[in-house]
Amino acid sequence: MTKSRSPRRPLLALVAALAFIPLVGCTRAGGRQGLATIVAGESVPDDAGEPRLTNLRRLTDGGENAEAYWSADGTRLVYQSTPTPGGCDQIYTLDLRSKDAPRRVSTGAGRTTCAYFHDQDRRILFASTHAASPECPPPPDRSAGYVWALYDTYDIYSVKADGSDLRPLITGPGYDAEATVCPADGRIVFTSTRDGDIDLYVADADGANVRRLTDAPGYDGGAFFSPDCSKIVWRASRPEGKDLEDYRALLARGLVRPSHMELWVMDGDGANRRQITFNGAANFAPYFFPSGDRIVFASNLGDRKGRNFDLYAVDLTGANLERVTVDRQFEAFPMFSPDGRRLAFAANRFGKKHGETNVFVARWRPDAFVPPSHRIATPADRYLEDVRFLADPAREGRGLGTKGIEEAAFYLEDRMREAGLRPAFGTEYAQRFPVTVGVTLGPRNALADSEGALALEKDFMPASFSSTGAVDAEVVFAGYGISAHEQGWDDYRGVDVRGKAALVLRYHPKEDAPEGPLSTEEARRYSDLRYKAFNAREHGARALLLVAGPLGHEDDPDTLAKPAPDGPESEAGIPVLFVTRATADRWLRRQGTSLAGEQSRVDAGEANPHLLPLGRVNGRVDLEKKTTETRNVVGILPGLGDGTEGAVVVGAHYDHLGFGGPSSLAPGVHALHPGADDNAS
């Protein structure tokens, strides 16, 4: 993505450093062929401080040369060059198998940028302004500082590899440039201002069927496909506030300020966009490693003054950042050869004249020893360090009562201490409290109705969070037992359960209907059984009886599992029991209705026409609970005020499922649940 060109002097300010080279990205991974020997250019000394690079060769000799990208067969490079000062970039190819001079394949008129092999190396695409004028377009107005001009005369063309048969490929109003190609199917990703912002688009191999990929305010450009085309990496600015106002004002004048750009990755169809770097520098020209899980790119992050650009490598997660070059001048536009054995890039090094930029190629050493000084810690590394510890199998899934959860608590205390947080409890970060880690049935569980005793485990079962105690109360049906006033739903409206046993349905109304009254993710929290127990208790119920309704849960086996701890929460405060559908249905049929009928009525939103007395139950819940001590870990970041304004509480639970249990997606399997993506992260 080239803008205007100026002599490349490595000790200019950041903005000048950005001016030398078009911060584009036009790269491709193709087959696995590769040259055994490169004949073109000349050998130059390796840098001992760059262990990844060896057998360095300079391929061009003078002028401004950059954005050199491989053919799919690995035998040629296509690049842009301004051989003489004051000229405009033109596109050239270089055969690495010979000493032949580079061949110009563009028209020689206007300005060109971002060339790329496509159509199985038979053709080359590039952006050019020649159709608007044979002259170089005017330089950008620098009265607003360092800016690039977004020439709306740029269109994307295709030409045969020998420079013949020039054809327009992607045209239209606005800036169209920075095109790269998917090696699998020929799709083209490019940058355009056709919809009013600077965004990424994708087109079919013939330039048709253009689709927009990005839509956030800011500059999106320099995109590259991964080797299998499943992902796209690119650079982007995301200005906010006054910076966004400045961005939009410049864009209205056909300008953009490229000072701060971060790297992003998304799926090949534009989904799942995610930021990779967060360093605040000018990061650009990212290109995928052959593995597809790492990128090499250019950045000035190592220079406080922003003058020096080097090559870096980083995982797509943002972790394992490594400095590749240390020349203290300008290196950019890296691209791996199709076989992954070589890296082409542009650099100021070994210039015969001050400010020259030449194209280089080096053999890549994937197994080279990289000194610690080349490793740069990132926030992603810190996050991964935390997750690796917390999700290590040695933590036993951070289950309650395990040694692992204690180790996790100590780890969190250390991290809070390192972060400078003040202990919340005097000199301690820990707030200890008892939790239930084991629940078994005691010998005195019983439940009976007017027809006689119900069978434990067949007709009823105490809930693990039930309180122990006697049950002796009239049974009253109370719908789903939900009071969601903000959703306009209250099962207890007109139902008096004071001193009674509330019979309520599990789950929530119209479970399978996306338009249901409680269908949103937030509203579904009302289906939580502990919430229903709390709500029944708050309405004065003496006990809670839970049943799975038949509608929407036909595949539910309606089995009664033995109680097991499924969280650190305290007891419900009232006896809570599960009963089978057959039991609840029998009670309702005494009143001339049925469980299915009542569920249907409630799902339809009908108010309770009358209180349904379902007879009396009596019995006892007898649970034997094993408890242990665990702890909250709390640190305080003092504010600037005197504390009278209140506090902001940020909380997260660091426990997990241990070896499974009722809350697991596989409740019947005893297996370690590390919890890397739940609680640890």
Whole-number pLDDT of residue 563: 81
Q: Which has the higher per-residue pLDDT, 394 or 610?
A: 394
- Which tokens in the block code for residue 664? 């697991």
Residue 490 pLDDT > 70: yes
- Kindly give, in sequence order, each residue whose CB lies less than 8 Å from that of residue 343, ignoring residues fewer than 6 positions away: 53, 296, 334, 335, 336, 337, 361, 362, 364
Please, is 388 exposed, middle or buried when counting C-beta atoms within 10 Å of its C-beta (0-12, 13-18, 19+)? exposed
Mean pLDDT is lowest, of 154-163, 301-310, 456-465, for: 301-310
Considering the four listed CATH numbers 3.40.50.1970, 3.40.50.620, 3.40.50.2000, 3.50.30.30, the one that applies to the domain covering 439-624 is: 3.50.30.30
pLDDT classification of 555: cutoffs 50, 70, 90 = low
pLDDT of residue 550 exceeding 80, the answer is yes
Asked if the model's pLDDT at residue 614 lies above 80, the reply is: yes
Q: What angle do CA 517, 520, 526 make, to 5 degrees?
A: 75
CA 10 from centroid of its chain's CA atoms:
35
CA distance 375 to 595: 65
Q: Provide the pLDDT confidence category of residue 140 given band limits of 50, 70 and 90.
A: confident
pLDDT at residue 569, rounded to an integer: 60
Q: Centre a 10 Å sphere on the Cβ of residue 643 and count the other Cβ atoms it contains.
A: 8
Is the pLDDT at 516 greater than 70? The verdict is no
Over the stretch 422-441, which tens digit does the pLDDT of each residue have? 999 999 999 999 888 888 99
For the segment 209-254, what is each residue's pLDDT rounded down to a tens digit? 999 999 999 999 999 999 999 999 999 999 999 999 999 999 999 9
Listed in order, strand segments (DSSP E) in 341-420 are 342-347, 358-364, 375-376
Q: Average the pLDDT over each of 121-130, 168-177, 197-206, 378-387 and give the range with the smallest value.
A: 378-387
User: Quick one: average pLDDT of 271-282?
Assistant: 95
CB 88 within 8 A of CB 82: yes
Where residue 514 falls among pLDDT bands split at 50, 70, 90?
Answer: low
Within 10 Å of residue 573's Cβ, how many Cβ atoms?
A: 15
Q: What pLDDT is attached to residue 521? A: 67
Phi, psi at 597, each rounded to 5° = -65, -45
Q: Residue 627: its pLDDT value, please?
A: 85
Confidence of residue 567 (pLDDT cuts 50, 70, 90): low
**3-state secondary structure (DSSP) of residue 620:** strand
pLDDT band at 21 (very low <50, low <70, confident <90, very high): very low
Angstrom distance (rounded) from CA 184 to CA 517: 47
Cα–Cα dist 390/408, whole Å: 6
Contact 38, 96 (CB under 8 A): yes
The pLDDT value recorded for residue 262 is 97
pLDDT of 49 > 70? The answer is: yes
Q: What is the pLDDT of residue 553?
A: 67
Per-residue pLDDT at 354 = 83
Between 134 and 559, residue with greater pLDDT: 134
pLDDT digits (tens, 9 = 90+) for 654-675: 999 888 876 777 767 889 899 8
* pLDDT value of position 453: 97
Q: What is the 3-state secondary structure (H, E, C) of 578-608?
A: EECHHHHHHHHHCCCCCHHHHHHHHHCCCCC
Q: What is the mean pLDDT of residues 55-72?
A: 95
- Which stretches of 83-213 are assigned E, i.e. beta strand? 90-95, 103-104, 112-118, 123-128, 148-149, 155-160, 167-170, 176-181, 188-192, 199-203, 211-212
Secondary structure of residue 533 in the 3-state scheme: helix
Nearest 5°: phi and psi at 337?
-65, 160
The Cα 232–Cα 243 span in angstroms is 26
- Whole-number Cα distances in Å, 663 to 358, 391, 565: 61, 18, 9
What SS3 state is found at 139? Answer: coil
Q: 247 and 217 in contact (C-beta within 8 Å)?
A: yes
Q: Please compute the mean of the pLDDT values over residues 613-619 and round it to a whole number.
A: 92
Check residue 28 and give its pLDDT.
43
Q: Which residues contact 366 (CB under 8 A, 6 or more apart)?
A: 52
Query: What pLDDT score does 509 carry?
Result: 86
- Cα separation, 74 vs 279, in Å, equals 34
Q: What is the pLDDT at residue 623?
A: 94
The fold of the 14-47+63-138+147-366 domain, in CATH, is Neuraminidase (2.120.10)
Residues across the chain = 681
Q: Domain spans of the chain?
A: 14-47+63-138+147-366, 377-429+634-681, 439-624
Is residue 517 within 8 A of residue 491, CB to CB? The reply is: no
Minimum mean pLDDT among 28-32, 400-404, 470-474, 525-529: which range? 28-32
Average pLDDT on 272-282 reads 95
Contact 289, 322 (CB under 8 A): no
Amino acid at position 435, single letter: V
- Distance separating the N- and C-terminal Cα atoms of the chain: 37
pLDDT of residue 208 exceeding 90 = yes
597 pLDDT exceeds 70? yes
Question: What would the mean pLDDT of 163-186 be, rounded to a whole number?
Answer: 96
Statement: residue 632 has pLDDT above 60: yes
Average pLDDT, the chain: 88
Q: Would you put residue 159 in left (φ > 0), alpha (ψ -120 to 50) or beta?
A: beta
Tell me what the mean pLDDT of segment 524-549 comes to.
Answer: 93
Q: Is the dihedral of CA 496, 498, 499, 504 positive or negative?
A: positive
